[in-house]
Amino acid sequence: MRNLVLILGDQLDADSPALAAADPEHDLIWMAEAAEESTHVWSHKQRIALFLAAMRHFRDHLRDQGFTVDYTELDAPDHGGSLSSELSRAIEKHRPEKVVLVEAGEYRVQHSIEGTCNRLKTPVEFLDDTHFLCSIDDFRRHAEGRKSLRMEFFYREMRKRHGILLDDGKPAGGDWNYDRENRKSFGKDGPGEIPEPTRHEPDEITREVLELVERRFPGHPGSLDTFHWPVTRRSALARLRSFIDDFLPNFGDFQDAMWADRPHLYHSLISSSLNLKLLHPREVIKAAESAWREGKAPLAATEGFIRQILGWREYVRGIYWLHMPDYLERNALGADQPLPDFYWTGRTPMRCLSQVVGQTLEFGHAHHIQRLMVTGLYALLLGVKPKAVHEWYLAVYVDAIEWVELPNTLGMSQFADGGVMASKPYCASGKYIQRMSNYCKGCPFDPAKRTGDQACPFTTLYWDFLLRNQPQLEGNPRMSMQLRNLQRISDEEKSAIHDQADRLRADPAASHAVDLWF
Ligand code: FAD
Ligand code: SF4
């Protein structure tokens, strides 16, 4: 046999360069399920099921294409438990001339494969990942010589390089960014009718996987009852089509809005399909731009959506590979609290958090502002260790893969990288959540109060966060307005805020309010 062509669980791309270079007659495709990938950090049941079901469908697709696929299932007898143990066994069994794969998305996996092949003295070739629109080397070149990196400049370069939303070389409509139009809340009347996202009922292969996951991982978080994620390219394309037709026109306006018991609103729910590489970002961007050019979606919504994919998604990957492996250990604000237990149960009287954690456990999904300005914000304000926050986000979302999750969590949401990802901490009081959602109605707390029994924990902790971190944040011009407001608070009240924040750190679920609630 010539090459062992390794396909990882998040490389389910039929046009992958590893497959393009493979010869069905002489090369063997190798794929393996490994329990370690679901246990090295804890993992939501839907996340495990999604990977396994998508991998098994892809295996069958490759066999239909004429490839020979050596595939190890999780329950195979003598399974070594990890990717590296199975790869060692495969190399010893097949004795390939070379192992070929697309560069891994995750630092840990890349190094483990390299280590295994070196140990067994088998050459390994990593191919550039053509799924992304900016290669790791291109990002390094973009970063070279810049004192600080900002997504917005990177995004403009990407628009120009790929000719996206341009008219005669200028940004369509005259502006690069229409974010100011994309921050509406639903107001008093709420979201009204929103179409249901397409559901992908599990077929036989997926049903088998769901049973396997229930049997092998019974103690893992989340439920499989609502599993409806696309696990094939065909179903991912159907979800993309339905988003473009039914949701994109309102995506922009309500991108940051939240509403109780309405978990998905106008969001696309395609992140897991993109991250498994069932969809290519280029086709997603093209579909959105075409909808705008055909008059089916407004420019602000289209630009806002494209920015997430062409801008943020490519940018966070660049940051990940630029700063790993040290990035994982960063803790610029010296946060040292444990992650509150209710992040695994949703049991807290704080309605925003019980809603967002609840939907996370139910679906393995929450949208960006829920992740950033509810679960992420509370951890930031409380001072939770960034690595513990990172492990939670990596565990609970179906789209979680370290290259995208880590910079978003540790950098954007916890400011643990000291400003690499974001120019200032995303810190706000409960009033932000009140403005963008209806969560505060029916919550025992009052977002306007910072001390006292009814004080909203976000609000107390926000002021405490500013007081605690004032020396470090003072040099940041983007924080000056927020810090100036501290001058309006008396020393007596500052001390009361400090005491109340200490009580919250001892009881982070704010369970003292259960009495207020009933
Ligand atoms: P939509 O709101 O419809 O957005 C469209 C697409 O844009 C998404 O599918 C996604 O591919 C991309 N996108 C949007 N925002 C970002 C972003 N900040 N970074 C990268 N891509 C983005 N996204 C992940 O894919 N995996 C993660 O593990 C992940 N962890 C996150 C952790 C935190 C703390 C935060 C604040 C954000 C995280 N995100 C992550 C980004 C974002 O929240 C999700 O991509 C989005 O909620 C997925 O839902 P959707 O497909 O409906 O997205
Ligand atoms: Fe959340 Fe505070 Fe609003 Fe309650 S009052 S829902 S805790 S922001």
Confidence at residue 399, expressed as pLDDT on a 0 to 100 scale: 98
Which residue, by CA, sits nearest to atom 7 of ligand 2? 350
Confidence of residue 514 (pLDDT cuts 50, 70, 90): low
469-477: average pLDDT: 93
Q: Is the pLDDT of residue 517 over 80?
A: no
Tokens of residue 122, six digits? 């088998």
CA distance 85 to 119: 12
Domains of the chain: 3-127 (3.40.50.620), 138-199+225-323 (1.25.40.80), 341-517 (1.10.579.10)
Using most ligand atoms within 8 A of CB, pick from 228, 308, 415 the residue to mutate for ligand 1.
Answer: 308
CA distance 214 to 218: 5
Is the alpha carbon torsion for 284, 287, 290, 291 positive or negative? Answer: negative
Ligand nearest to the CA of 513: 2
Confidence of residue 42 (pLDDT cuts 50, 70, 90): confident
Ligand 2 center–CA 290 separation, angstroms = 40
How many beta carbons lie within 10 A of that of residue 502, not counting itself? 10
Q: What is the 3-state secondary structure (H, E, C) of 452-512?
A: CCCECHHHHHHHHHHHHHHHHHCCCHHHHHHHHHHHHCCHHHHHHHHHHHHHHHHCCCCHH
Q: Is the pLDDT of residue 516 over 90?
A: no
| Residue 325: cis peptide before it, omega within 30 degrees of 0 | yes
Using most ligand atoms within 8 A of CB, pick from 347, 352, 432 the residue to mutate for ligand 2.
Answer: 352
Confidence at residue 189, expressed as pLDDT on a 0 to 100 scale: 86
471 Cβ contact list (under 8 Å, min separation 6): none
Confidence at residue 198, expressed as pLDDT on a 0 to 100 scale: 85
476-484: average pLDDT: 94
Q: In this structure, are residues 497 and 450 in contact, taking their beta carbons and an 8 Å threshold? A: yes
Q: Is the pLDDT of residue 407 over 60?
A: yes
Ligand 1 atom closest to the Cα of residue 413 is: 34
1-17: average pLDDT: 94
Pocket of ligand 2 (CB under 6 A): 350-352, 430, 433-434, 439-440, 443, 445, 447, 456-458
Pocket of ligand 1 (CB under 6 A): 267-271, 274-275, 305, 308-309, 312-313, 316, 367-368, 371-372, 376, 393, 397, 399-400, 404-405, 408-409, 412-413
Using most ligand atoms within 8 A of CB, pick from 368, 372, 412 the residue to mutate for ligand 1.
Answer: 368
Confidence at residue 515, expressed as pLDDT on a 0 to 100 scale: 62
Which residue, by CA, sits nearest to atom 1 of ligand 2? 352
283-307: average pLDDT: 97
Confidence at residue 1, expressed as pLDDT on a 0 to 100 scale: 67
Residue 41, helix vs strand vs coil: coil
Confidence of residue 489 (pLDDT cuts 50, 70, 90): very high
Confidence at residue 225, expressed as pLDDT on a 0 to 100 scale: 94
Confidence of residue 518 (pLDDT cuts 50, 70, 90): very low
Ligand 2 center–CA 142 separation, angstroms = 41
How many residues are listed for the chain in this entry? Answer: 518
Alpha-carbon Rg for the chain, nearest whole angstrom, is: 24
For the chain, the straight-line distance linking the first and the last C-alpha, in angstroms and rounded, comes to 69
Ligand 1 center–CA 139 separation, angstroms = 20
Q: In this structure, are residues 310 and 132 in contact, taking their beta carbons and an 8 Å threshold? A: no
Digit-coded pLDDT (tens) for 244-253: 999 999 998 9
Q: CA nearest 44: which of 352, 261, 276, 363?
A: 363
Ligand 2 center–CA 430 separation, angstroms = 6
Ligand 2 center–CA 324 separation, angstroms = 36
Residue 197, helix vs strand vs coil: coil
Ligand 2 atom closest to the Cα of residue 444 is: 4
